[in-house]
Chain A
Amino acid sequence: MSRDTAIISVQGVTKRFGGVTAVDDVSFDIAPNEFFALLGPSGCGKTTLLRMLAGFETPNRGGIIIDGADMTDVAPNRRPVNMVFQSYAVFPHMSVFDNVAYGLRVARTSAAEVETRVGEALEMTQLGELTERKPDQLSGGQRQRVALARALVKRPKVLLLDEPLSALDAKLREAMQLELVRLQHSVGITFIIVTHDQNEALSMADRIAVMDDGRVQQVARPAELYEFPNCRFVADFIGKMNLFEGRVVDRRGAELAVEVRGLGRIVAGPAPGEDALEGGVEVGVAVRPEKVRLHRDAVPEGRVAARGRIAQVAYFGGASHVYLALDSGQAISATLQNEARSADPAVNVGDEMWCSWNPRDTLILTR
């Protein structure tokens, strides 16, 4: 996506609070109609970045371009961007209708048009029955939908959502995840959400920016992030990961041979984004647990293999996480799908097992 077609372009944005750098030289673009997520642990700067997009903070350095116009210094009430706050911020002294109508009335929309548009927004968020209720008579989920309707009725170019699902219980959260994606498709505008929950980001977003300590580590589609993380942080933050230390031994064209203690020599593809990797360089070697298979006896040819004893089994109904203590002293985890219907476990603590995986599934991480 070129800069010209991006709906939001963040360029070299830095934000400091006193001595703390909350956002450090961040740059990326967001496409129109995209469901974009800012993902990271608490304190990584994602909320600060979101607030800068909304206009509640101004960058110390860098620029924010929204739909082609430089909006870095523009006040929040003059941006074509609306926000759903983490606490929803529904006005307690106004009814549902008045809350949703607020932004339209501020813009001096005619009463007739207000009536129609608010009606549409309430229909869209399934609040049609609750127009005259006051916020203290609504549940958390209903209040969130009021906040959504209130923002969407203004037809912004971008909708920002700050941790939209964190206050909801598990069942409601799942339902809202699907609901938000459906809404985004039907309204047809860009959604940007901030979340610390990687499952949320993976399941909802078209693309995700993973942040740590003020910096963007990687911006990619969910599958790309999961299967091709560009650094240890992303590899570890998203999903579960088995991580080992190794050393580059040889390089043959596009393939690297890496020596890992206890696992022997592994031949794998190059680390993403790195071209020059010579012998002797220390790298991280990683593999996803669901790519690891367990065998009681022989291991098929051409796979990375190691032997060990089962230390722990965590049963999750549909799958089990099996933790193996390898003979070489390291630990590795494998995810087993519980395919056969049986009340007896497939494996037991103490069993001697082989684990193996396809060398192509190995991740090489340089940072």
Chain B
Amino acid sequence: MDNWRKNPVVFWLLNVPPTFWLVVFFIVPLTLIWVLSFGEKRGVIDIEITWTLDNYIRALDPLYLEIFWKSIWMAGLATLACLIVGYPIAFAIAFAPDRWKALLLLGLMVPFWINILIRTYALIAVFRTRGYVNFTLEWLWERANGLLSWIGLGDWHLLGMRYEPLELLYNNFAVNMGIVYAFFPFMVLPLYANIEKLDKSLMEASLDLGAGHWRTFVSVVFPLTWHGALSGIIIVFIPALGAFFIPDLLGGTHSELIGNVIERQFKSANDWPFGAALSFLLMYATFGALALRALVAGRKPGLEV
């Protein structure tokens, strides 16, 4: 690596275009939003920057705080679900024979390439009253009912008079599943990368010393791969916080998340300063999560991601 003074021409030539883009088309807009968050509306379009904290105070109103908390809670729950299902999948791929490995990875990636909006929309057909899940459950209900009739308990209607479809859509459950479905591959990839890099002879050593498979996982595999889990958690949790289209498509009237509120401020409600304040609070939450991760990861030096 050279000191920048060694070749200033190359240094600046390489540097200027991307830096320019980053500053003008990213840093400046963000700064603008930050400034706007201290503004007040004056009429339909004009905004005056009065350096007021009113927007932030309003954002910390119990109404919005509750939505904030609900968003964190939902995103957290969905992230946990991704983690619990993701670990076995990452394991399976990491320990698959080579030709299967590529195939499984590909199979995992293909949904990831498909537009996140479309995947969310596809869930509607699965969860609605007359959708996949309910059709399957109804079919099972009919089979079970048939079995009961066959053994003579038909008249007792043990399973009810008819199949009652589950309300799986337009509620918090659907939103949760939506987040899990949308971001699941993001969880598996860093987990997989970490498990793949693990020295398998460490697992063999653990088995050799008498430990069973679960003990080996708990004592050897997890302590050395949880950095991957941490990465996965960050990659799922943060976007999940801001994915307003998921509650929009799949949620009910009480399933609003912070992303929906922000979107409304900038579109229909036209209250940009307030929206800006909310956006920045969301960003602070993001940075908080990242700082937490850096802290936790830094405290326990192990293998890097």
Interface residues of A, Cβ cutoff 8 Å to B: 54-56, 75-78, 81-83, 85-87, 89-93, 102-103, 106-107, 147, 150-151, 154
Residues of B within 8 A of A86 (CB): 201
| Count: A-B pairs, CB below 8 Å | 65
- Minimum Cβ distance to chain A for residue B229 (Å): 15
| Least CB distance, B97 to chain A, in whole angstroms | 10
Which partner residue on chain B sits nearest A162 by CB separation?
Answer: B201
Complex alpha-carbon distance, A107 and B210, angstroms: 7
Is B302 engaged at the interface, CB distance under 8 Å to the other chain? yes
- The CA-CA distance from A348 to B239 in the complex, in Å, is 81
B303 CB to nearest A CB, Å: 7
Q: List 13 A-B contacts (CB under 8 A).
A: A75-B207, A77-B207, A77-B208, A77-B210, A81-B208, A82-B209, A87-B201, A91-B205, A92-B303, A102-B211, A150-B209, A151-B209, A154-B209
Chain A proximity mask over B176-219: 1 for CB below 8 Å, otherwise 0: 00000000000000000000000101101111111110010001
Q: Is the CB of B208 within 8 A of A102?
A: no
- Assembly CA distance A151 to B209 (angstroms): 7
| Complex Cα–Cα for A83 and B293 (A) | 37
A90 CA to B220 CA, complexed, in Å: 11
Interface residues on B, range: 20 to 34
Q: Which residues of B contact A154 (CB under 8 A)?
A: 209-210
Knowing that A76-B207, A82-B208, A89-B205 touch, tell me 18 more A-B residue pairs with CB under 8 angstroms: A56-B207, A76-B204, A77-B208, A77-B209, A77-B211, A83-B208, A85-B201, A85-B204, A87-B199, A87-B201, A89-B202, A90-B205, A92-B202, A92-B302, A93-B224, A103-B211, A106-B210, A107-B210
B223 beta carbon closer than 8 Å to chain A = yes
Q: Which residue of chain A has the shortest Cβ distance to B224 in the bound complex?
A: A93
Shortest CB-to-CB span from B110 to chain A, Å, is 28
Chain B residue contacts of A76, Cβ below 8 A: 204, 207-208
Closest to B204 in A: A56
9 smallest A-B Cβ distances: which pairs? A103-B209, A89-B205, A89-B201, A106-B211, A85-B201, A76-B207, A106-B210, A77-B207, A93-B223
**Contact residues in B for A151 (Cβ distance below 8 Å):** 208-209
In the complex, the answer to whether A89 meets B204 with C-beta atoms within 8 Å is yes
Given the interface contacts A56-B204, A102-B219, does A89 sit within 8 Å of B199 by beta carbon? yes
Interface hub of B207, B208, B211 (most chain A Cβ within 10 A): B208
From A136, which residue of chain B is reached at the shortest CB distance?
Answer: B301
Alpha-carbon distance A87/B199, docked complex (angstroms): 9
A92→B224 CA distance, assembly (Å): 8
